[in-house]
């Protein structure tokens, strides 16, 4: 995909500044194996990382391999993960994913995207979290922060996560994909919040086409 040079230059500078601002940015979910990270990532949908880490601290003492999760009664799993929300669906995904790993993958977590996407409950975002964090592979993680910030920063005009992923991949060299994903996530939490981004504190403010929009937004809300 051909991207205008000015956009590539702007993306490169945004990437450089954000990685510099958040040099230690990484996934905050606790895990000791790629499999534990998939489970934690499934549980993290619509839930905070802190809550997931509390739940998995107990859960992984009961079970931490695909074989153990594949055999765990669904009621027991639902009870253990209940506080992460959407626990019926999450339990179904974790159990189904574990059963398929045992049946089709010899109990090992795959590396390539095609195999990841065969697993129940595993979409590109989950696959890319594991690829970037557990395997140290280049991957763009299109979570809610990444989608919001890449749109605000004018790095994409797309809405669909897989299109946004492709747009950003075309703009940046692959050695920056994973670090940039984590840095964006940290920036989304710390500065570029969904409702009230702190544009005056943003290291990319002068490069962001949305910076001028938010003072008006806040005034119009009377805040
Ligand atoms: S300038 Fe504002 S909208 Fe743009 S990335 Fe920074 S905080 Fe977000």
Q: Please state which of the four CATH numbers 3.20.20.70, 1.10.10.10, 1.10.1670.10, 3.40.50.150 is assigned to the domain occupying 5-25+140-220.
A: 1.10.1670.10
Q: Active site includes 179?
A: no
What's the rounded Cα separation, in Å, for the pair 164 and 57? 33
Q: Active site includes 136?
A: no
Return the domain boundaries, the chain.
5-25+140-220, 34-133
- What local confidence, expressed as pLDDT, does residue 223 receive? 37
Identify the active-site residue in 125, 206, 213, 221.
125
- How many A from CA of 216 to the centre of ligand 1? 14
Q: Among 222, 175, 130, 211, which residue's Cα sits nearest to residue 15?
A: 175
What's the rounded Cα separation, in Å, for the pair 162 and 140? 10
What class has domain 34-133? Answer: mainly alpha
Please list every protein residue whose CB sits less than 6 Å from any atom of ligand 1: 149, 152-153, 191-192, 197-199, 202, 204-205, 208, 210-211, 214
Q: What is the pTM of this model?
A: 0.89
Per-residue pLDDT reduced to its tens digit, 138-192: 999 999 999 999 999 999 999 999 999 999 999 999 999 999 999 999 999 999 9
- What local confidence, expressed as pLDDT, does residue 212 receive? 76
Per-residue pLDDT reduced to its tens digit, 63-117: 999 999 999 999 999 999 999 999 999 999 999 999 999 999 999 999 999 999 9
């Amino acid at each position: 995909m051909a991207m205008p040079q000015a956009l590539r230059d702007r993306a490169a500078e945004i990437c450089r500044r954000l990685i510099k601002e958040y040099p230690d940015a990484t996934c905050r979910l606790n895990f000791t194996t790629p499999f534990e990270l998939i489970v934690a990532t499934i549980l993290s949908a619509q839930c905070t990382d802190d809550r997931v880490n509390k739940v998995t601290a107990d859960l992984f003492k009961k079970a931490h391999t695909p074989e153990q999760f594949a055999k765990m009664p669904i009621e027991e799993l639902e009870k253990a993960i209940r506080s992460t929300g959407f626990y019926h669906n999450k339990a179904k995904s974790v159990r189904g994913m574990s059963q398929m790993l045992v049946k089709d993958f010899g109990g090992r977590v795959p590396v390539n995207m095609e195999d990841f996407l065969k697993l129940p409950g595993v979409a590109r975002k989950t696959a890319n979290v594991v690829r970037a964090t557990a395997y140290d592979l280049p991957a763009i993680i299109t979570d809610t922060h990444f989608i919001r910030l890449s749109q605000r920063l004018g790095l994409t005009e797309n809405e669909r996560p897989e299109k946004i992923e492709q747009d950003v991949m075309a703009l940046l060299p692959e050695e920056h994909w994973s670090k940039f994903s984590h840095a964006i996530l940290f920036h989304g939490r710390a500065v570029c919040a969904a409702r009230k981004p702190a544009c005056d504190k943003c290291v990319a403010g002068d490069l962001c086409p949305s910076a001028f929009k938010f003072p008006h937004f806040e005034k119009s809300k009377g805040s």
